[in-house]
Amino acid sequence: MKPRILIVGSSGQLGIELVKALSAESDLMTLSRREADLTNTVALRSAVRDLQPQFIVNAAAYTAVDRAESEPDLAHAVNAVAPRALAEVALELGAWLIHFSTDYVFDGSGTAPWKETDSPHPLSVYGRTKLEGELAVAATGCRHLIFRTSWVYSAHSNNFLRTMLRLAAQRPRLSVVNDQIGAPTSAGELARATQRVLTRIDQPSAHEPESGVYHMTCAGSTSWFGFAEAIFKRFAGMVPTPELVPIPSEQYPTPAARPRNSVLDGEKLQRLLGVRLPAWEDALDQVLAELRSTGL
């Protein structure tokens, strides 16, 4: 029997890729933003309870990092209160909750990759509300896996890759921050990794994994400037290639502070769940191939 999987936030960047990855081997159900108001937890609980899923995959989040500084209540409702509601229903149903979080729970100090055991210290409203969501999920006692990831992009939706390609058609010169380091992670790779985890859990002979936080990003690291360089190198001759100028964060001020070091250590994910994502460059190649096939 196929597992009953519910994706909350199915119309978002990650949700679209999760639908692709999970639809073939599951009894898949979805709740998009239009179908489930995450600020109405009574209705959200009722909708999930009616569907009776075995796995709840929460791909919904308030991700407007800078706007969150002026909308903290809304960010808190979506990133902290709604995940707690989903976790409470998961506990009631005996279901697993898969929840996605972020590198922004850390302050970016130091140069070593962040481990799950390192103490979070978010710099922004977005990071703080995502951390509150993590803690709220764990506090319910439901079976849960929290996947922290970073720098998510895809061939669709609004993201750094799409922004670079759009700006290249408008400007001959682009200034890109060069002192924030992380791992660009495609939504497709996140979805496929999640699919592998769920398949493993659903096997009758499988040992139940340890609930908790896992870091899930593509392997390797680069700066935003390095990410931009890699994009235009691969698209040379297909889109205008702007002059790229590396700049420090201080020359690109934003309402929300960003961590300088966003590299996450994925050893726990590989050791306990048997999953390792490919190098960020390889994932980028796959996304760009998708873009080329659809004519950008």
Is position 126 annotated as part of the catalytic site?
yes
Catalytic residue among 62, 126, 153, 214: 126
Q: What is the pLDDT of residue 144?
A: 97
CATH classification of 4-159+184-220+263-278 is 3.40.50.720, yes or no?
A: yes
Burial degree of 170 (CB within 10 A; 0-12, 13-18, 19+): exposed
pTM of the model: 0.95
User: Which residues, at least 6 apart from 132, have a Cβ–Cβ distance to it below 8 Å?
Assistant: 76, 79, 80
CA angle 114–68–97, rounded 5-degree value = 55
pLDDT in tens, 200-235: 887 766 678 889 999 999 999 999 999 999 999 988
CA pair distance 42, 36, nearest whole angstrom: 10
CA pair distance 12, 99, nearest whole angstrom: 14
CA pair distance 133, 123, nearest whole angstrom: 16
Q: Pairing mode, if any, of strands 181-182 and 222-223?
A: antiparallel
- The candidate with the shortest Cα–Cα distance to 7, out of 36, 35, 38, 28, is 28
Q: What is the pLDDT of residue 205?
A: 66
pLDDT band at 276 (very low <50, low <70, confident <90, very high): very high
Beta strands, E only, 61-208: 96-102, 143-149, 152-153, 173-177, 181-182, 185-186
Beta strands, E only, the chain: 4-8, 27-31, 55-58, 96-102, 143-149, 152-153, 173-177, 181-182, 185-186, 212-215, 222-223, 243-247
Q: How far is CA 93 from CA 7, 82, 134, 222, 237, in A?
A: 16, 17, 20, 41, 54
CA pair distance 41, 178, nearest whole angstrom: 40
Beta strands, E only, 139-184: 143-149, 152-153, 173-177, 181-182
pLDDT in tens, 168-210: 989 999 999 999 999 999 999 999 999 999 998 877 666 788 8
pLDDT in tens, 34-47: 888 899 999 999 99
**Two structure tokens written together for 8:** 């909350």
Q: What is the pLDDT of residue 85?
A: 96
| Domain assignments of the chain as residue spans, ordered by start | 4-159+184-220+263-278
